Structure 1
Amino acid sequence: MTTRPRLRQLEALKSVVDHGSMTRAAQSLEISQPAVSRLLADLSHGLGFTLLKRKNGRLVPTQEASYILPDITRVLEVLKNITDTSQNVHDKTAGHLSIACLPGFATSHLPAVVTEFLKARPDVTITLEPDRPERILEWIVGEQYDCGITDGFDGHPAIESTTLNVRTVCIFPKGHRFQALKEVDAKQLDKERFVHTRRDSNFYRSLNDVFRKASVSPIHVVETRQFTAACELVAQGVGVSVVSELDARTYDGRLDFRPFAPRVPHQISLVRPIHKLPSKITLDFLEDFKASLSDFEV
Protein backbone atom coordinates (compact mmCIF):
# COMPACT_ATOMS: atom_id res chain seq x y z
CA MET A 1 0.00 0.00 0.00
CA THR A 2 1.41 3.41 -0.98
CA THR A 3 1.76 6.23 1.53
CA ARG A 4 1.22 9.92 0.84
CA PRO A 5 4.49 11.54 -0.26
CA ARG A 6 5.84 14.59 1.51
CA LEU A 7 6.61 17.83 -0.28
CA ARG A 8 10.33 17.65 0.46
CA GLN A 9 10.47 14.15 -1.06
CA LEU A 10 8.88 15.40 -4.27
CA GLU A 11 11.29 18.33 -4.40
CA ALA A 12 14.22 15.93 -3.97
CA LEU A 13 13.06 13.69 -6.83
CA LYS A 14 12.42 16.62 -9.16
CA SER A 15 15.82 18.14 -8.36
CA VAL A 16 17.71 14.89 -9.00
CA VAL A 17 15.88 14.39 -12.32
CA ASP A 18 16.65 17.99 -13.33
CA HIS A 19 20.34 17.81 -12.38
CA GLY A 20 21.05 14.12 -13.05
CA SER A 21 23.12 13.92 -9.89
CA MET A 22 22.57 13.53 -6.15
CA THR A 23 25.39 15.96 -5.45
CA ARG A 24 24.06 18.78 -7.61
CA ALA A 25 20.51 18.16 -6.35
CA ALA A 26 21.74 18.45 -2.76
CA GLN A 27 23.48 21.74 -3.60
CA SER A 28 20.32 23.06 -5.25
CA LEU A 29 18.17 22.12 -2.25
CA GLU A 30 20.85 23.32 0.18
CA ILE A 31 20.87 20.04 2.09
CA SER A 32 23.39 17.20 2.35
CA GLN A 33 23.69 14.39 -0.20
CA PRO A 34 22.79 11.74 2.42
CA ALA A 35 19.64 13.74 3.19
CA VAL A 36 18.64 13.61 -0.48
CA SER A 37 19.30 9.86 -0.55
CA ARG A 38 17.10 9.34 2.51
CA LEU A 39 14.27 11.41 1.07
CA LEU A 40 14.33 9.40 -2.15
CA ALA A 41 14.60 6.08 -0.36
CA ASP A 42 11.59 6.92 1.80
CA LEU A 43 9.63 8.11 -1.23
CA SER A 44 10.47 4.96 -3.18
CA HIS A 45 9.44 2.79 -0.24
CA GLY A 46 6.18 4.69 0.23
CA LEU A 47 5.22 4.53 -3.45
CA GLY A 48 6.26 0.94 -3.84
CA PHE A 49 8.54 1.24 -6.88
CA THR A 50 12.05 2.28 -7.87
CA LEU A 51 12.40 5.93 -8.83
CA LEU A 52 15.83 6.28 -10.43
CA LYS A 53 18.30 4.37 -12.54
CA ARG A 54 21.76 5.23 -13.80
CA LYS A 55 22.26 5.78 -17.51
CA ASN A 56 25.39 7.14 -19.15
CA GLY A 57 26.68 8.42 -15.83
CA ARG A 58 23.46 10.26 -14.98
CA LEU A 59 20.54 9.43 -12.71
CA VAL A 60 17.36 9.29 -14.78
CA PRO A 61 13.77 8.47 -13.80
CA THR A 62 12.45 4.97 -14.16
CA GLN A 63 9.40 4.37 -16.34
CA GLU A 64 7.17 4.47 -13.25
CA ALA A 65 8.73 7.69 -12.00
CA SER A 66 8.42 9.27 -15.46
CA TYR A 67 4.71 8.57 -15.32
CA ILE A 68 4.19 10.64 -12.12
CA LEU A 69 6.74 13.39 -12.84
CA PRO A 70 4.29 15.66 -14.72
CA ASP A 71 1.97 15.61 -11.69
CA ILE A 72 4.88 16.31 -9.36
CA THR A 73 5.92 19.26 -11.52
CA ARG A 74 2.38 20.69 -11.45
CA VAL A 75 2.15 20.30 -7.65
CA LEU A 76 5.45 22.11 -7.12
CA GLU A 77 4.44 24.90 -9.53
CA VAL A 78 1.12 25.38 -7.76
CA LEU A 79 2.86 25.58 -4.39
CA LYS A 80 5.36 28.09 -5.80
CA ASN A 81 2.48 30.19 -7.14
CA ILE A 82 0.80 30.10 -3.73
CA THR A 83 4.03 31.20 -2.08
CA ASP A 84 4.60 33.99 -4.61
CA THR A 85 1.00 35.20 -4.34
CA SER A 86 1.14 35.13 -0.54
CA GLN A 87 4.30 37.21 -0.63
CA ASN A 88 2.65 39.68 -3.01
CA VAL A 89 -0.34 39.97 -0.72
CA HIS A 90 1.99 40.49 2.23
CA ASP A 91 3.86 43.15 0.26
CA LYS A 92 0.52 44.68 -0.75
CA THR A 93 1.20 44.28 -4.47
CA ALA A 94 -1.51 41.70 -5.23
CA GLY A 95 -5.08 40.90 -4.28
CA HIS A 96 -8.59 42.10 -5.00
CA LEU A 97 -10.37 45.18 -3.68
CA SER A 98 -14.10 45.80 -3.98
CA ILE A 99 -15.31 49.39 -3.56
CA ALA A 100 -18.88 50.68 -3.40
CA CYS A 101 -19.15 54.41 -4.07
CA LEU A 102 -21.43 57.28 -4.92
CA PRO A 103 -22.08 57.54 -8.68
CA GLY A 104 -20.47 60.97 -8.88
CA PHE A 105 -17.19 59.68 -7.51
CA ALA A 106 -17.11 56.82 -10.00
CA THR A 107 -16.87 59.30 -12.88
CA SER A 108 -14.98 62.20 -11.33
CA HIS A 109 -12.40 62.00 -8.54
CA LEU A 110 -12.12 58.25 -7.92
CA PRO A 111 -10.66 57.10 -11.29
CA ALA A 112 -7.55 59.23 -10.76
CA VAL A 113 -7.07 57.82 -7.24
CA VAL A 114 -7.52 54.25 -8.49
CA THR A 115 -5.06 54.84 -11.33
CA GLU A 116 -2.34 56.03 -8.95
CA PHE A 117 -3.11 53.23 -6.50
CA LEU A 118 -2.70 50.54 -9.19
CA LYS A 119 0.58 51.94 -10.53
CA ALA A 120 2.41 50.57 -7.49
CA ARG A 121 0.28 47.41 -7.39
CA PRO A 122 0.15 45.91 -10.91
CA ASP A 123 -1.31 42.60 -9.69
CA VAL A 124 -4.19 44.15 -7.75
CA THR A 125 -7.66 43.98 -9.29
CA ILE A 126 -10.55 46.25 -8.34
CA THR A 127 -14.34 46.07 -8.51
CA LEU A 128 -15.94 49.52 -8.51
CA GLU A 129 -19.71 49.61 -7.95
CA PRO A 130 -21.55 52.96 -7.91
CA ASP A 131 -24.97 53.26 -6.28
CA ARG A 132 -27.03 55.39 -3.92
CA PRO A 133 -26.01 55.78 -0.25
CA GLU A 134 -28.72 53.44 1.05
CA ARG A 135 -27.53 50.58 -1.13
CA ILE A 136 -23.88 51.20 -0.26
CA LEU A 137 -24.66 50.85 3.43
CA GLU A 138 -26.61 47.63 2.79
CA TRP A 139 -23.62 46.17 0.96
CA ILE A 140 -21.16 47.16 3.69
CA VAL A 141 -23.37 45.80 6.49
CA GLY A 142 -23.69 42.57 4.49
CA GLU A 143 -19.89 42.46 4.04
CA GLN A 144 -20.31 42.31 0.27
CA TYR A 145 -17.70 45.02 -0.34
CA ASP A 146 -14.38 45.79 1.30
CA CYS A 147 -15.10 49.49 1.68
CA GLY A 148 -17.45 52.24 0.58
CA ILE A 149 -17.46 55.96 -0.15
CA THR A 150 -20.74 57.63 0.73
CA ASP A 151 -22.32 60.69 2.31
CA GLY A 152 -24.96 61.38 4.90
CA PHE A 153 -23.81 58.49 7.10
CA ASP A 154 -25.33 58.64 10.58
CA GLY A 155 -23.64 55.58 12.05
CA HIS A 156 -24.35 51.85 12.24
CA PRO A 157 -23.13 49.22 14.75
CA ALA A 158 -21.83 46.97 11.94
CA ILE A 159 -19.89 49.72 10.17
CA GLU A 160 -16.63 51.49 10.95
CA SER A 161 -16.43 54.93 9.39
CA THR A 162 -14.26 57.99 8.94
CA THR A 163 -15.95 61.27 8.03
CA LEU A 164 -14.18 63.98 6.04
CA ASN A 165 -15.45 67.55 5.64
CA VAL A 166 -14.92 68.85 2.11
CA ARG A 167 -15.14 72.54 1.16
CA THR A 168 -18.09 73.66 -0.90
CA VAL A 169 -18.28 76.44 -3.47
CA CYS A 170 -20.97 78.28 -5.38
CA ILE A 171 -20.85 77.33 -9.06
CA PHE A 172 -22.37 79.47 -11.83
CA PRO A 173 -22.36 79.68 -15.63
CA LYS A 174 -19.67 81.55 -17.51
CA GLY A 175 -20.48 85.26 -17.73
CA HIS A 176 -22.73 85.26 -14.64
CA ARG A 177 -22.70 88.36 -12.46
CA PHE A 178 -21.06 86.32 -9.64
CA GLN A 179 -17.81 86.45 -11.64
CA ALA A 180 -17.18 89.91 -10.22
CA LEU A 181 -17.26 88.56 -6.64
CA LYS A 182 -14.43 87.08 -4.60
CA GLU A 183 -16.95 85.15 -2.49
CA VAL A 184 -20.64 84.36 -2.87
CA ASP A 185 -22.70 85.02 0.23
CA ALA A 186 -25.92 83.12 0.89
CA LYS A 187 -27.90 86.35 0.65
CA GLN A 188 -26.84 86.74 -2.97
CA LEU A 189 -28.68 83.55 -3.92
CA ASP A 190 -32.09 85.11 -3.23
CA LYS A 191 -34.33 84.62 -6.30
CA GLU A 192 -31.51 82.87 -8.18
CA ARG A 193 -32.43 79.81 -10.23
CA PHE A 194 -30.98 77.05 -8.10
CA VAL A 195 -29.94 73.43 -8.78
CA HIS A 196 -29.77 71.46 -5.55
CA THR A 197 -29.19 68.00 -4.13
CA ARG A 198 -32.04 65.74 -3.06
CA ARG A 199 -34.20 67.20 -0.30
CA ASP A 200 -33.69 64.24 2.05
CA SER A 201 -29.90 64.62 2.08
CA ASN A 202 -28.00 65.99 5.07
CA PHE A 203 -26.25 68.49 2.83
CA TYR A 204 -29.51 69.93 1.50
CA ARG A 205 -30.88 70.27 5.04
CA SER A 206 -27.72 72.12 6.16
CA LEU A 207 -27.86 74.41 3.13
CA ASN A 208 -31.57 75.05 3.62
CA ASP A 209 -30.91 76.05 7.24
CA VAL A 210 -28.45 78.66 5.98
CA PHE A 211 -31.01 80.03 3.51
CA ARG A 212 -33.69 80.19 6.18
CA LYS A 213 -31.43 82.06 8.62
CA ALA A 214 -30.42 84.48 5.87
CA SER A 215 -34.09 84.93 4.85
CA VAL A 216 -33.38 84.09 1.22
CA SER A 217 -35.47 82.05 -1.19
CA PRO A 218 -33.66 80.64 -4.22
CA ILE A 219 -35.86 79.45 -7.07
CA HIS A 220 -35.53 75.66 -6.96
CA VAL A 221 -35.28 74.53 -10.58
CA VAL A 222 -33.75 71.05 -10.52
CA GLU A 223 -33.25 68.50 -7.75
CA THR A 224 -30.52 65.95 -8.43
CA ARG A 225 -28.74 63.28 -6.42
CA GLN A 226 -25.27 63.95 -7.79
CA PHE A 227 -22.99 66.99 -7.64
CA THR A 228 -21.64 66.02 -11.06
CA ALA A 229 -25.13 66.33 -12.52
CA ALA A 230 -25.53 69.73 -10.86
CA CYS A 231 -22.22 70.84 -12.40
CA GLU A 232 -23.33 69.73 -15.84
CA LEU A 233 -26.64 71.59 -15.51
CA VAL A 234 -24.94 74.76 -14.31
CA ALA A 235 -22.38 74.53 -17.13
CA GLN A 236 -25.30 74.50 -19.57
CA GLY A 237 -26.82 77.61 -17.99
CA VAL A 238 -29.74 76.12 -16.06
CA GLY A 239 -28.90 78.03 -12.87
CA VAL A 240 -26.40 78.17 -10.01
CA SER A 241 -25.62 75.65 -7.28
CA VAL A 242 -23.54 74.92 -4.21
CA VAL A 243 -21.43 71.77 -4.53
CA SER A 244 -18.19 70.30 -3.23
CA GLU A 245 -15.09 72.04 -4.56
CA LEU A 246 -13.86 68.58 -5.50
CA ASP A 247 -16.58 68.25 -8.15
CA ALA A 248 -16.47 71.90 -9.20
CA ARG A 249 -12.81 71.63 -10.17
CA THR A 250 -13.52 68.77 -12.56
CA TYR A 251 -15.66 71.25 -14.54
CA ASP A 252 -13.11 74.06 -14.41
CA GLY A 253 -13.24 75.82 -17.79
CA ARG A 254 -16.90 74.98 -18.39
CA LEU A 255 -18.23 76.95 -15.41
CA ASP A 256 -16.96 79.33 -12.74
CA PHE A 257 -17.04 79.06 -8.97
CA ARG A 258 -16.29 81.08 -5.87
CA PRO A 259 -16.03 80.24 -2.16
CA PHE A 260 -19.44 80.06 -0.51
CA ALA A 261 -20.24 81.77 2.79
CA PRO A 262 -21.10 80.73 5.38
CA ARG A 263 -19.21 77.47 5.20
CA VAL A 264 -21.41 74.44 4.63
CA PRO A 265 -19.04 71.47 4.27
CA HIS A 266 -20.01 68.37 2.35
CA GLN A 267 -19.44 65.32 4.51
CA ILE A 268 -17.90 62.25 2.89
CA SER A 269 -17.80 59.02 4.86
CA LEU A 270 -15.37 56.19 4.22
CA VAL A 271 -17.00 53.02 5.51
CA ARG A 272 -16.07 49.35 5.91
CA PRO A 273 -17.56 46.30 7.69
CA ILE A 274 -16.58 46.32 11.34
CA HIS A 275 -16.71 42.52 11.73
CA LYS A 276 -14.63 41.75 8.62
CA LEU A 277 -10.87 41.92 9.07
CA PRO A 278 -9.69 44.45 6.47
CA SER A 279 -6.89 43.51 4.09
CA LYS A 280 -3.77 45.64 3.94
CA ILE A 281 -4.82 46.63 0.43
CA THR A 282 -8.15 47.94 1.77
CA LEU A 283 -6.46 49.97 4.49
CA ASP A 284 -3.88 51.33 2.04
CA PHE A 285 -6.57 52.37 -0.40
CA LEU A 286 -8.56 54.19 2.29
CA GLU A 287 -5.43 56.05 3.37
CA ASP A 288 -4.65 56.99 -0.23
CA PHE A 289 -8.20 58.20 -0.77
CA LYS A 290 -8.11 60.32 2.40
CA ALA A 291 -4.80 61.80 1.29
CA SER A 292 -6.28 62.68 -2.11
CA LEU A 293 -8.84 64.90 -0.36
CA SER A 294 -6.41 66.71 1.92
CA ASP A 295 -6.32 69.85 -0.26
CA PHE A 296 -10.11 70.09 -0.18
CA GLU A 297 -10.82 69.50 3.51
CA VAL A 298 -12.23 72.23 5.70
Structure 2
Amino acid sequence: MSTRLRLRQLEALDCVAETGSMTRAAELLGISQPAVSRLLSDLSAEVGFQLFDRQGGRLTPTQEARFLLPDIHRVLEMLDHIGEVSRHLNDRKAGHLRIACLPGFATSHLPGIMARFLADRPGVTATIEPDRPERILEWIVGEQYDCGITDSFDGHPAVDSKTILIRSVCILPTGHPLLAKPRITPENLAEERLIHTRRDSAFFRELNEQFLAAGVEMNSIVEARQFTAACELVLRGVGLSIISELDAAGYGARGLEFRPFAPAVPHRLALVRPIHKHPSMITLEFMDEFRDSLRPFEAC
Protein backbone atom coordinates (compact mmCIF):
# COMPACT_ATOMS: atom_id res chain seq x y z
CA MET A 1 0.00 0.00 0.00
CA SER A 2 1.32 3.45 -0.91
CA THR A 3 1.42 6.09 1.84
CA ARG A 4 1.64 9.07 -0.52
CA LEU A 5 -1.85 10.34 0.26
CA ARG A 6 -2.89 13.69 -1.14
CA LEU A 7 -4.29 16.50 0.95
CA ARG A 8 -7.33 16.85 -1.31
CA GLN A 9 -8.17 13.18 -0.75
CA LEU A 10 -8.12 13.67 3.02
CA GLU A 11 -10.28 16.79 2.72
CA ALA A 12 -12.81 14.87 0.62
CA LEU A 13 -12.95 12.02 3.15
CA ASP A 14 -13.39 14.42 6.06
CA CYS A 15 -16.06 16.49 4.29
CA VAL A 16 -18.14 13.51 3.12
CA ALA A 17 -17.92 11.95 6.59
CA GLU A 18 -19.20 15.24 8.04
CA THR A 19 -22.04 15.84 5.56
CA GLY A 20 -22.95 12.27 4.55
CA SER A 21 -23.27 13.48 0.96
CA MET A 22 -20.88 13.75 -1.98
CA THR A 23 -23.00 16.50 -3.47
CA ARG A 24 -22.85 18.64 -0.33
CA ALA A 25 -19.13 17.90 0.10
CA ALA A 26 -18.51 19.02 -3.49
CA GLU A 27 -20.26 22.36 -2.77
CA LEU A 28 -18.18 22.94 0.36
CA LEU A 29 -14.92 22.00 -1.35
CA GLY A 30 -15.73 24.05 -4.45
CA ILE A 31 -15.31 21.14 -6.86
CA SER A 32 -17.66 18.85 -8.85
CA GLN A 33 -19.39 15.79 -7.42
CA PRO A 34 -17.54 13.48 -9.84
CA ALA A 35 -14.26 14.99 -8.63
CA VAL A 36 -15.15 14.11 -5.02
CA SER A 37 -16.08 10.58 -6.09
CA ARG A 38 -12.78 10.20 -7.92
CA LEU A 39 -10.77 11.46 -4.93
CA LEU A 40 -12.45 8.94 -2.62
CA SER A 41 -12.04 6.13 -5.13
CA ASP A 42 -8.33 6.86 -5.45
CA LEU A 43 -7.95 7.13 -1.67
CA SER A 44 -9.74 3.80 -1.17
CA ALA A 45 -7.36 2.20 -3.62
CA GLU A 46 -4.38 3.72 -1.80
CA VAL A 47 -5.39 2.53 1.68
CA GLY A 48 -6.77 -0.80 0.50
CA PHE A 49 -10.24 -0.76 2.06
CA GLN A 50 -13.70 0.70 1.53
CA LEU A 51 -14.29 4.13 3.05
CA PHE A 52 -18.10 4.49 3.09
CA ASP A 53 -21.30 2.47 3.32
CA ARG A 54 -24.64 3.83 2.11
CA GLN A 55 -27.38 3.71 4.73
CA GLY A 56 -30.80 5.24 4.07
CA GLY A 57 -29.49 7.53 1.35
CA ARG A 58 -26.62 8.78 3.51
CA LEU A 59 -22.93 7.88 3.25
CA THR A 60 -21.49 6.72 6.58
CA PRO A 61 -17.80 6.01 7.21
CA THR A 62 -16.77 2.39 7.52
CA GLN A 63 -15.16 1.22 10.74
CA GLU A 64 -11.73 1.52 9.14
CA ALA A 65 -12.42 5.08 7.94
CA ARG A 66 -13.64 6.06 11.43
CA PHE A 67 -10.31 4.89 12.78
CA LEU A 68 -8.50 7.27 10.39
CA LEU A 69 -10.69 10.33 10.88
CA PRO A 70 -9.25 11.63 14.21
CA ASP A 71 -5.73 11.68 12.71
CA ILE A 72 -7.06 13.30 9.54
CA HIS A 73 -8.73 16.01 11.63
CA ARG A 74 -5.41 16.73 13.38
CA VAL A 75 -3.55 16.93 10.06
CA LEU A 76 -6.08 19.33 8.55
CA GLU A 77 -6.13 21.50 11.67
CA MET A 78 -2.34 21.63 11.68
CA LEU A 79 -2.30 22.66 8.02
CA ASP A 80 -4.85 25.40 8.79
CA HIS A 81 -2.61 26.57 11.64
CA ILE A 82 0.45 26.59 9.40
CA GLY A 83 -1.48 28.63 6.83
CA GLU A 84 -2.55 31.14 9.46
CA VAL A 85 0.99 31.49 10.83
CA SER A 86 2.30 31.94 7.29
CA ARG A 87 -0.18 34.75 6.70
CA HIS A 88 0.91 36.41 9.94
CA LEU A 89 4.56 36.07 8.92
CA ASN A 90 3.83 37.67 5.57
CA ASP A 91 1.97 40.44 7.37
CA ARG A 92 4.89 40.82 9.84
CA LYS A 93 2.50 39.82 12.65
CA ALA A 94 4.29 36.71 13.93
CA GLY A 95 7.79 35.41 14.56
CA HIS A 96 10.59 35.60 17.11
CA LEU A 97 13.22 38.33 17.13
CA ARG A 98 16.60 37.87 18.84
CA ILE A 99 18.45 41.11 19.56
CA ALA A 100 21.92 41.54 21.05
CA CYS A 101 22.69 45.05 22.29
CA LEU A 102 24.94 47.19 24.41
CA PRO A 103 23.88 47.11 28.09
CA GLY A 104 22.92 50.77 28.10
CA PHE A 105 20.44 50.28 25.26
CA ALA A 106 18.67 47.47 27.10
CA THR A 107 17.51 49.95 29.75
CA SER A 108 17.30 53.22 27.80
CA HIS A 109 16.38 53.67 24.14
CA LEU A 110 15.55 50.10 23.11
CA PRO A 111 12.57 49.38 25.45
CA GLY A 112 10.50 52.22 23.99
CA ILE A 113 11.17 51.13 20.42
CA MET A 114 10.44 47.50 21.28
CA ALA A 115 7.16 48.37 23.03
CA ARG A 116 5.88 50.24 19.98
CA PHE A 117 7.10 47.49 17.63
CA LEU A 118 5.37 44.71 19.56
CA ALA A 119 2.14 46.65 20.13
CA ASP A 120 1.14 46.18 16.46
CA ARG A 121 2.39 42.59 16.26
CA PRO A 122 0.65 40.42 18.86
CA GLY A 123 2.17 37.24 17.46
CA VAL A 124 5.78 38.45 17.69
CA THR A 125 8.03 37.55 20.61
CA ALA A 126 11.56 38.79 21.32
CA THR A 127 14.76 38.03 23.18
CA ILE A 128 16.99 40.95 24.24
CA GLU A 129 20.51 40.06 25.34
CA PRO A 130 22.83 42.87 26.52
CA ASP A 131 26.61 42.41 26.54
CA ARG A 132 29.89 44.03 25.57
CA PRO A 133 30.71 44.74 21.88
CA GLU A 134 33.14 41.82 21.60
CA ARG A 135 30.50 39.35 22.72
CA ILE A 136 27.84 40.85 20.42
CA LEU A 137 30.17 40.42 17.44
CA GLU A 138 30.79 36.79 18.42
CA TRP A 139 27.05 36.11 18.58
CA ILE A 140 26.33 37.76 15.23
CA VAL A 141 29.19 35.94 13.48
CA GLY A 142 27.88 32.68 14.96
CA GLU A 143 24.34 33.51 13.73
CA GLN A 144 22.99 33.16 17.28
CA TYR A 145 21.13 36.48 17.08
CA ASP A 146 19.14 38.12 14.29
CA CYS A 147 20.60 41.58 14.76
CA GLY A 148 22.77 43.60 17.10
CA ILE A 149 23.23 47.16 18.34
CA THR A 150 26.86 47.89 19.12
CA ASP A 151 29.76 50.30 18.81
CA SER A 152 33.51 50.01 18.27
CA PHE A 153 32.79 47.90 15.18
CA ASP A 154 35.68 47.62 12.72
CA GLY A 155 34.03 45.32 10.21
CA HIS A 156 33.89 41.55 9.71
CA PRO A 157 33.37 39.49 6.51
CA ALA A 158 30.49 37.56 8.12
CA VAL A 159 28.65 40.67 9.31
CA ASP A 160 26.46 43.18 7.48
CA SER A 161 26.62 46.53 9.25
CA LYS A 162 25.31 50.06 9.02
CA THR A 163 27.17 52.76 10.93
CA ILE A 164 25.23 55.76 12.25
CA LEU A 165 27.02 58.82 13.58
CA ILE A 166 25.26 60.18 16.67
CA ARG A 167 25.86 63.73 17.94
CA SER A 168 27.83 64.05 21.16
CA VAL A 169 26.93 66.48 23.92
CA CYS A 170 28.27 67.59 27.26
CA ILE A 171 25.90 66.63 30.07
CA LEU A 172 25.55 68.80 33.17
CA PRO A 173 23.31 68.87 36.23
CA THR A 174 20.58 71.52 36.31
CA GLY A 175 21.92 74.87 37.49
CA HIS A 176 25.51 74.34 36.39
CA PRO A 177 27.17 77.64 35.27
CA LEU A 178 28.30 76.19 31.93
CA LEU A 179 24.66 75.88 30.87
CA ALA A 180 24.86 79.57 30.03
CA LYS A 181 27.07 78.71 27.05
CA PRO A 182 25.51 77.67 23.72
CA ARG A 183 28.17 74.97 23.30
CA ILE A 184 30.89 73.42 25.43
CA THR A 185 34.54 73.22 24.34
CA PRO A 186 37.58 71.48 25.84
CA GLU A 187 38.73 74.85 27.18
CA ASN A 188 35.46 75.21 29.13
CA LEU A 189 36.14 71.87 30.82
CA ALA A 190 39.73 72.51 31.88
CA GLU A 191 38.75 72.82 35.57
CA GLU A 192 35.93 70.27 35.55
CA ARG A 193 36.09 66.68 36.75
CA LEU A 194 35.25 64.40 33.84
CA ILE A 195 33.50 61.05 33.57
CA HIS A 196 34.39 59.29 30.34
CA THR A 197 34.28 55.97 28.49
CA ARG A 198 37.04 53.38 28.57
CA ARG A 199 40.44 54.66 27.49
CA ASP A 200 40.75 51.88 24.91
CA SER A 201 37.52 52.88 23.14
CA ALA A 202 37.57 54.67 19.79
CA PHE A 203 35.25 57.37 21.18
CA PHE A 204 37.62 58.22 24.04
CA ARG A 205 40.64 58.35 21.72
CA GLU A 206 38.90 60.81 19.37
CA LEU A 207 37.70 62.90 22.31
CA ASN A 208 41.12 62.97 23.91
CA GLU A 209 42.66 64.11 20.62
CA GLN A 210 40.41 67.20 20.69
CA PHE A 211 41.47 68.00 24.26
CA LEU A 212 45.15 67.61 23.35
CA ALA A 213 44.69 69.80 20.26
CA ALA A 214 43.21 72.51 22.52
CA GLY A 215 46.08 72.16 24.98
CA VAL A 216 43.75 70.92 27.73
CA GLU A 217 44.42 67.88 29.90
CA MET A 218 41.39 65.82 30.87
CA ASN A 219 40.73 65.87 34.60
CA SER A 220 39.56 62.26 34.75
CA ILE A 221 37.55 61.21 37.81
CA VAL A 222 35.65 58.10 36.62
CA GLU A 223 36.07 55.75 33.67
CA ALA A 224 32.75 54.04 32.82
CA ARG A 225 31.91 51.70 29.96
CA GLN A 226 28.28 52.80 29.61
CA PHE A 227 26.91 56.27 28.83
CA THR A 228 23.94 55.56 31.11
CA ALA A 229 26.37 55.08 34.00
CA ALA A 230 27.90 58.47 33.17
CA CYS A 231 24.43 60.04 33.28
CA GLU A 232 23.77 58.61 36.73
CA LEU A 233 27.11 59.88 38.02
CA VAL A 234 26.53 63.39 36.63
CA LEU A 235 23.12 63.48 38.32
CA ARG A 236 24.86 62.71 41.61
CA GLY A 237 27.33 65.58 41.22
CA VAL A 238 30.41 63.46 40.57
CA GLY A 239 31.45 65.44 37.51
CA LEU A 240 30.55 66.23 33.88
CA SER A 241 30.67 63.99 30.85
CA ILE A 242 30.60 63.97 27.06
CA ILE A 243 28.30 61.28 25.71
CA SER A 244 25.89 60.40 22.91
CA GLU A 245 22.92 62.78 22.68
CA LEU A 246 20.74 59.70 22.30
CA ASP A 247 21.54 58.66 25.88
CA ALA A 248 21.47 62.21 27.24
CA ALA A 249 17.95 62.83 25.90
CA GLY A 250 16.55 60.04 28.04
CA TYR A 251 17.64 61.83 31.22
CA GLY A 252 16.11 65.22 30.47
CA ALA A 253 13.21 64.67 32.87
CA ARG A 254 15.53 63.66 35.70
CA GLY A 255 17.44 66.88 36.20
CA LEU A 256 20.17 66.40 33.63
CA GLU A 257 20.76 68.95 30.85
CA PHE A 258 23.14 69.04 27.92
CA ARG A 259 24.81 71.35 25.43
CA PRO A 260 26.49 70.56 22.08
CA PHE A 261 30.17 69.70 22.35
CA ALA A 262 32.61 71.32 19.95
CA PRO A 263 34.62 70.32 18.03
CA ALA A 264 32.19 67.59 17.01
CA VAL A 265 33.16 64.09 18.10
CA PRO A 266 30.33 61.80 16.94
CA HIS A 267 29.60 58.50 18.63
CA ARG A 268 29.68 55.67 16.09
CA LEU A 269 26.80 53.27 16.52
CA ALA A 270 26.54 50.12 14.40
CA LEU A 271 23.47 48.04 13.50
CA VAL A 272 24.70 44.57 12.58
CA ARG A 273 23.29 41.23 11.40
CA PRO A 274 24.73 37.94 10.08
CA ILE A 275 25.55 38.32 6.40
CA HIS A 276 25.18 34.62 5.52
CA LYS A 277 21.81 34.13 7.23
CA HIS A 278 18.76 35.27 5.29
CA PRO A 279 17.00 37.78 7.57
CA SER A 280 13.32 37.39 8.38
CA MET A 281 10.91 40.14 7.41
CA ILE A 282 10.42 40.84 11.13
CA THR A 283 14.17 41.38 11.55
CA LEU A 284 14.41 43.78 8.62
CA GLU A 285 11.34 45.70 9.72
CA PHE A 286 12.66 46.05 13.28
CA MET A 287 16.04 47.23 12.03
CA ASP A 288 14.34 49.82 9.82
CA GLU A 289 12.24 51.11 12.73
CA PHE A 290 15.24 51.25 15.05
CA ARG A 291 17.25 53.03 12.36
CA ASP A 292 14.47 55.60 11.94
CA SER A 293 14.42 56.22 15.69
CA LEU A 294 18.03 57.38 15.51
CA ARG A 295 17.53 60.04 12.85
CA PRO A 296 16.75 62.92 15.26
CA PHE A 297 20.16 62.37 16.87
CA GLU A 298 22.33 61.92 13.79
CA ALA A 299 25.38 64.07 13.28
CA CYS A 300 25.19 66.16 10.12
TM-score by length of 2: 0.96
Structure 1 stretch displaced more, 197-206 or 178-187: 178-187
Structure 1: 5+ residue stretches without partners: none
Cα displacement (A) at 1:283 = 1.1
Pairwise mapping of residues 79-228 of structure 1 onto structure 2 (< 5 A)? 79-228=79-228
Structure 1 contact 189–217 (Cα < 8 Å) conserved = no
Give 1:240's aligned residue. 240
Q: Distance in 2 between matches of 1:156 and 1:16?
A: 59
Backbone CA RMSD of aligned residues: 1.3
Q: Distance in 2 between matches of 1:198 and 1:59?
A: 79
Give 1:261's aligned residue. 262
Q: Distance in 1 between matches of 2:247 and 2:56?
A: 75
Aligned length, in residue pairs = 298
Q: Distance in 2 between matches of 1:84 and 1:265?
A: 46
Pair 1:65 & 2:65 matched: yes
Q: Distance in 2 between matches of 1:201 and 1:233?
A: 19
Q: Distance in 1 between matches of 2:179 and 2:46?
A: 86
Instruction: Say which SS state the counterpart of residue 261 (structure 2) adopts.
Output: strand
Cα separation, partners in 2 of 1:232 and 1:3, compared to 1, 3 Å = closer
Once the two structures are superposed, residues 74-105 of structure 1 have per-residue CA deviations (whole angstroms, 9 ceiling, x without a partner) of: 01111121222222222222111111100000
Give 1:252's aligned residue. 252
Structure 1 contact 171–243 (Cα < 8 Å) conserved = yes
Instruction: Say which SS state the counterpart of residue 98 (structure 1) adopts.
Output: strand
Cα displacement (A) at 1:255 = 1.2
Give 1:277's aligned residue. 278
Cα separation, partners in 2 of 1:3 and 1:197, compared to 1, 3 Å = closer
Once the two structures are superposed, residues 129-166 of structure 1 have per-residue CA deviations (whole angstroms, 9 ceiling, x without a partner) of: 10000000111111111111100111111111100011
Instruction: Say which SS state the counterpart of residue 291 (structure 1) adopts.
Output: helix
Instruction: Say which SS state the counterpart of residue 278 (structure 1) adopts.
Output: coil
Cα displacement (A) at 1:20 = 2.2
Structure 2: 5+ residue stretches without partners: none
Structure 1 contact 191–216 (Cα < 8 Å) conserved = no
Cα displacement (A) at 1:251 = 0.8
Between the two proteins, what is the percent identity of the paired residues?
62
Q: Distance in 2 between matches of 1:24 and 1:238?
A: 81
TM-score by length of 1: 0.96
Once the two structures are superposed, residues 50-90 of structure 1 have per-residue CA deviations (whole angstroms, 9 ceiling, x without a partner) of: 21223454322222211111000001111121222222222
Give 2:288's aligned residue. 287
Structure 1 contact 22–37 (Cα < 8 Å) conserved = yes
